[in-house]
C-alpha cells in the first residue's frame, strides 16, 4: 500500500520506517528542508535502536522524503498525521499544526483516502479534522478520518511498533477500517514475524498482536487514558515509597508483593525521581484539560502531577540530608536523559535536579552515555562533562544516580569507591541493593528504602545523629 506520513519527528520517522519494513511504499513529508536533506543523506536524527538499520534498508526505495504534501496525498491511500501537538500555557494540546495539515490534505484528495491521526491528540480531534477537510471543499464520500494512536516508548520505539501489545484503530466507517487492517496485516496475520530479516523479537512479545477496532473518539481516549494510567502507577508507587521511608519498610519488597498480583502487574512500578519525557507530563496535563472541558473534574490527575513534582524535591532534600550544605560541594552525576536508552532530556527530572543543585552552588560533573550534547546546548556553562562514570565520580563528595541506564547498574564498585572523595551514593533510581552497597563500603541512600552504611561507620556522621 502507498502511505504518506506527515511529520518526520519522533513518531513519524519511526512509523514511516516501520511501515516500509512491513512492505509498504512510504512518503515521509516534512516542510523542514534541512531535516529532509539530512534524512536523504543518511543521517539519523534520533537515538533509537534499529532505526539506523531500517533507514539504511529502505531509504530511497520504499521510503522516500518529500516536502510536497499535496502530491503525497494524491499518491497515497492513507495519510498518517504525525505532527507535533505541544502543550499551550494552560496545558491543553496546541492543535494548530494538525489543523493546517488537515487543510492542506484536502487539496490532494481526488479519490478515496483515509486520514489517520497518529499524533497524541485530545478526543474530538478527528471530528475537527473532518470538519476542516470538509470546509475546504472536499467531497465527504472521498475521505474518512481515523485515529490510530501509537504506544511507542523512546529507546525501544521500533520494537514497540513491530511487536506491539495491541494495535488500536478508531474508525467510524468500515471502509477506513479495512484499509487500516490491511496496512497492519503483516503483523496481525504474523507474516512479518516469519521473515528472516525481521527485527529481533523482544521478550514478552504478543505474536500476532490483537487489533482493537473502536470508534475514533474511543481510540483518542485510549491513548490519553493509557499514558495517564501509567503515570498514575508511577506516582502511586512513589507515594508508597515515601510511606516506606517514614515507617522503615522497603519499597522493593512492597513492589514485589503487590506486583505479583496479576491484576496489578509488576511493570511501571519502579519508584524513583518521577516520570519525565515528552509524553507523560504533557499528556497527563492535556487529559486533565480535556476532562475539565468536557465537564469532569479529574482531580486524581492533579495528585498524580503533584506527587511527581514532589518526588524531585524529596530527592533534593535527601542530598542535603546526606551532605548538609551544598555550596561548593563537588557532586558526580550519572544520568541526564529522562530515562535510560535515549538522548532525550525533555522534562527530564535529572536535568531539573542538576539545575537546582547548580543553583545551590554545587559543582557538578556529569556523565550520560547519550544525552551530554543535548544537555550542553541547554546548560552551556556551570556544568562539567565526564567521559565515564568513574571520571564523574573522581574526587566527588558524593555520586548521584539520576537515570536508569543499564550500564549504571553494573559499575565496578571498587573502582568507584577509589575515585570518590567520600564513598557516598545517592541513588534516585534504586539500581543497587542497599545491604550489598553497605558491604561494598558505601553509605547508600535510595528511594523508599532505609539508607545503609558500611560496618563501623557511625551513623552520626551522616544524618543528624540518627540513622536514616
Ligand atoms: C511513554 C509510554 O510508555 C508509551 O507507551 C507512549 O507511547 C509514549 O509515552 C508516548 O506517548 O509517546 P516514553 O515517554 O518513551 O513512553 O517513556 P517511558 O518508558 O514510559 O518512561 C516515562 C518516564 O517514566 C521516564 O522518566 C521513566 O524514568 C519513568 N518511569 C517509568 C518511572 O519512573 N518508573 C517506572 O516504573 C517506569
Q: Which domains does the chain have, with CATH numbers?
A: 2-214 (3.40.50.720), 308-465 (3.40.50.720)
Interval 389-412 mean pLDDT: 97
Of the pLDDT bands very low, low, confident and very high (cuts 50, 70, 90), residue 267 is very high
Calpha distance 39→36 (Å, rounded): 5
> Ligand 1 centre from 233 Cα, in Å?
11
> Ligand 1 centre from 147 Cα, in Å?
21
Phi-psi region of 149 (alpha: psi -120 to 50; beta: other; left: phi over 0): beta
Alpha helices in 294-443 (DSSP H): 299-323, 349-359, 372-378, 389-393, 413-419, 434-439
**Residue to mutate, 82, 164, 227, ligand 1, most ligand atoms under 8 Å from C-beta:** 227
Of the pLDDT bands very low, low, confident and very high (cuts 50, 70, 90), residue 408 is very high
Calpha distance 32→37 (Å, rounded): 9
Neighbouring-strand partners of residue 16: none
> Which amino acid residue places its CA nearest to atom 2 of ligand 1?
153
Provide the sign of the torsion angle of the four alpha carbons 454, 455, 460, 465, taken in this order. positive
**Residue to mutate, 119, 122, 153, ligand 1, most ligand atoms under 8 Å from C-beta:** 153
What confidence score (pLDDT) does residue 87 get?
A: 81
Which cell is 203 given?
Answer: 521478550
Q: Which helix (H) or strand (E) holds 6?
A: strand 2-6
**Residue to mutate, 147, 152, 161, ligand 1, most ligand atoms under 8 Å from C-beta:** 152
Flag whether pLDDT at 126 surpasses 60.
yes
DSSP symbol at 409: G
206 CB-contact burial (10 Å; exposed 0-12 / middle 13-18 / buried 19+): exposed
> Which amino acid residue places its CA nearest to atom 34 of ligand 1?
270
Q: Is 152 helix (H, G, I), strand (E, B) or coil?
A: coil
Flag whether pLDDT at 70 surpasses 70.
yes
What confidence score (pLDDT) does residue 461 get?
A: 55
Interval 352-369 mean pLDDT: 97
25 CB-contact burial (10 Å; exposed 0-12 / middle 13-18 / buried 19+): middle
Flag whether pLDDT at 21 surpasses 80.
yes
First to last CA, the chain: 61
Flag whether pLDDT at 463 surpasses 70.
no
What would the pLDDT profile of 80-89 be if each residue is shown by its tens digit? 999 988 888 8
Of the pLDDT bands very low, low, confident and very high (cuts 50, 70, 90), residue 458 is low
What confidence score (pLDDT) does residue 390 get?
A: 98
* Peptide linkage before 357 cis (omega within 30 of 0): no
Q: Percentage of residues in the chain with pLDDT exceeding 90? A: 87
How many helices (H) and strands (E) would you count in the chain? Answer: 17, 14
Average pLDDT, the chain: 94
Measured from the Cα of 151, ligand 1's closest atom is 7
Calpha distance 32→71 (Å, rounded): 17
DSSP symbol at 76: -
Provide the sign of the torsion angle of the four alpha carbons 291, 297, 301, 305, taken in this order. positive
Q: Measuring CA to CA, which residue among 42, 46, 57 is closest to residue 8? A: 46
Flag whether pLDDT at 411 surpasses 80.
yes
Calpha distance 284→10 (Å, rounded): 19
> Which amino acid residue places its CA nearest to atom 6 of ligand 1?
151
Interval 302-317 mean pLDDT: 98
Calpha distance 378→29 (Å, rounded): 28
What confidence score (pLDDT) does residue 241 get?
A: 98
CB 84 within 8 A of CB 286: no
> Which amino acid residue places its CA nearest to atom 16 of ligand 1?
153
> Ligand 1 centre from 278 Cα, in Å?
9
Ligand 1, CB within 6 Å, residue ranges: 120, 150-154, 227, 230, 234, 268-270, 272, 275-277, 279-280, 283, 338-339, 404
What would the pLDDT profile of 137-157 be if each residue is shown by its tens digit? 999 999 999 999 999 999 899
> Ligand 1 centre from 50 Cα, in Å?
19
Interval 19-40 mean pLDDT: 96
**Structure-model confidence comparison of residues 113 and 88, the more confident one:** 113
Backbone angles phi and psi of 115, in degrees to 5 = -100, 120
What would the pLDDT profile of 415-456 be if each residue is shown by its tens digit? 999 999 999 999 999 999 999 999 999 999 999 999 999 986
> Ligand 1 centre from 369 Cα, in Å?
19
Interval 181-203 mean pLDDT: 96
What confidence score (pLDDT) does residue 226 get?
A: 97
What confidence score (pLDDT) does residue 88 get?
A: 85
What confidence score (pLDDT) does residue 465 get?
A: 39
Measured from the Cα of 429, ligand 1's closest atom is 33
Interval 383-394 mean pLDDT: 98
Q: Measuring CA to CA, which residue among 386, 3, 393 is closest to residue 184? A: 3
Q: Percentage of residues in the chain with pLDDT exceeding 70? A: 97
Torsion of Cα atoms, 315 then 358 then 330 then 462, to 10°: -30
Q: Model pTM?
A: 0.93
Measured from the Cα of 223, ligand 1's closest atom is 11
Measured from the Cα of 267, ligand 1's closest atom is 36
> Ligand 1 centre from 279 Cα, in Å?
7
Measured from the Cα of 149, ligand 1's closest atom is 7
Of the pLDDT bands very low, low, confident and very high (cuts 50, 70, 90), residue 457 is low
Strand order from edge to edge, sheet including 63-66? 63-66, 25-29, 2-6, 78-81, 113-117, 143-147, 167-170, 211-214
Neighbouring-strand partners of residue 424: 443
Interval 286-306 mean pLDDT: 95
Calpha distance 255→64 (Å, rounded): 46
238-267 in b/e form (b: 16+ CB < 10 A) is bbbbbebbeeebbbbebbeebbeeeeeeee
What confidence score (pLDDT) does residue 95 get?
A: 87
Active site (annotated) includes residue 279: yes
User: Which entry of 18, 171, 244, 279 is annotated as an active-site residue?
Assistant: 279
Of the pLDDT bands very low, low, confident and very high (cuts 50, 70, 90), residue 37 is very high
Amino acid at each position: 500500500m502507498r502511505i504518506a506520513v506527515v511529520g518526520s519527528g519522533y513518531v513519524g520517522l519511526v512509523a514511516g520506517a516501520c511501515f516500509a519494513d512491513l512492505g509498504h511504499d512510504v512518503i515521509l513529508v516534512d516542510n523542514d528542508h534541512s531535516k529532509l536533506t539530512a534524512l536523504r543523506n543518511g543521517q539519523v536524527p534520533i537515538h533509537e535502536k534499529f532505526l539506523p538499520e531500517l533507514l539504511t534498508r529502505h531509504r530511497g526505495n520504499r521510503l522516500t522524503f518529500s516536502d510536497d504534501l499535496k502530491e503525497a496525498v494524491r499518491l497515497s491511500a492513507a495519510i498518517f498525521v504525525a505532527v507535533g501537538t505541544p502543550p499551550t500555557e494552560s496545558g491543553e494540546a496546541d492543535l494548530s499544526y494538525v489543523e493546517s495539515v488537515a487543510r492542506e490534505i484536502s487539496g490532494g484528495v481526488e479519490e478515496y483516502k483515509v486520514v489517520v491521526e497518529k499524533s497524541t491528540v485530545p478526543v474530538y480531534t478527528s471530528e475537527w479534522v473532518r470538519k476542516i477537510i470538509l470546509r475546504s471543499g472536499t467531497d465527504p464520500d472521498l475521505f474518512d478520518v481515523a485515529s490510530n494512536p501509537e504506544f511507542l516508548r523512546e529507546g525501544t520505539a521500533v520494537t514497540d511498533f513491530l511487536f506491539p501489545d495491541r494495535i488500536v484503530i478508531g474508525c467510524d466507517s468500515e471502509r477506513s477500517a479495512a484499509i487500516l487492517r490491511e496496512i497492519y496485516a503483516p503483523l496481525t496475520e504474523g507474516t512479518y514475524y516469519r521473515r528472516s530479516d525481521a527485527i529481533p523479537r523482544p521478550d514478552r512479545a504478543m505474536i500476532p498482536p490483537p487489533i482493537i477496532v473502536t470508534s475514533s473518539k474511543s481510540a483518542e481516549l485510549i491513548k490519553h487514558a493509557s499514558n495517564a494510567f501509567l503515570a498514575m502507577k508511577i506516582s502511586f508507587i512513589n507515594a508508597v515509597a515515601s510511606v516506606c521511608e517514614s515507617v522503615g519498610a522497603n519499597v522493593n519488597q512492597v513492589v514485589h508483593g503487590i506486583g505479583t498480583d496479576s491484576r496489578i502487574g509488576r511493570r511501571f512500578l519502579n519508584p524513583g525521581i518521577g516520570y519525565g519525557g515528552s509524553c507523560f507530563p504533557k499528556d497527563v496535563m492535556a487529559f486533565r484539560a480535556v476532562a475539565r472541558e468536557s465537564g469532569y473534574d479529574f482531580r486524581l490527575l492533579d495528585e498524580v502531577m503533584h506527587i511527581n513534582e514532589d518526588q524531585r524535591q524529596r530527592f533534593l532534600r535527601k542530598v542535603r540530608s546526606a551532605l548538609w550544605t551544598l555550596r561548593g560541594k563537588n557532586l558526580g552525576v550519572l544520568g541526564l536523559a529522562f530515562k535510560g536508552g535515549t538522548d532525550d532530556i525533555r522534562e527530564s527530572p535529572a536535568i531539573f535536579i542538576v539545575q537546582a543543585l547548580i543553583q545551590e552552588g554545587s559543582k557538578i560533573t556529569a556523565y550520560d552515555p547519550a544525552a551530554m550534547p543535548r544537555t550542553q546546548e541547554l546548560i552551556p556553562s556551570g556544568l562539567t562533562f565526564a567521559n565515564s562514570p568513574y571520571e564523574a565520580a573522581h574526587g566527588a563528595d558524593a555520586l548521584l544516580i539520576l537515570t536508569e541506564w543499564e550500564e549504571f547498574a553494573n559499575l565496578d564498585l571498587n573502582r568507584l569507591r577509589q575515585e570518590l572523595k567520600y564513598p557516598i551514593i545517592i541513588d534516585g533510581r534504586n539500581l543497587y541493593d542497599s545491604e550489598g552497597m553497605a558491604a561494598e563500603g558505601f553509605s547508600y541512600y535510595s528511594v523508599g528504602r532505609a539508607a545503609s552504611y558500611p560496618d563501623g561507620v557511625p551513623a552520626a556522621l551522616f544524618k543528624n545523629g540518627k540513622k536514616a
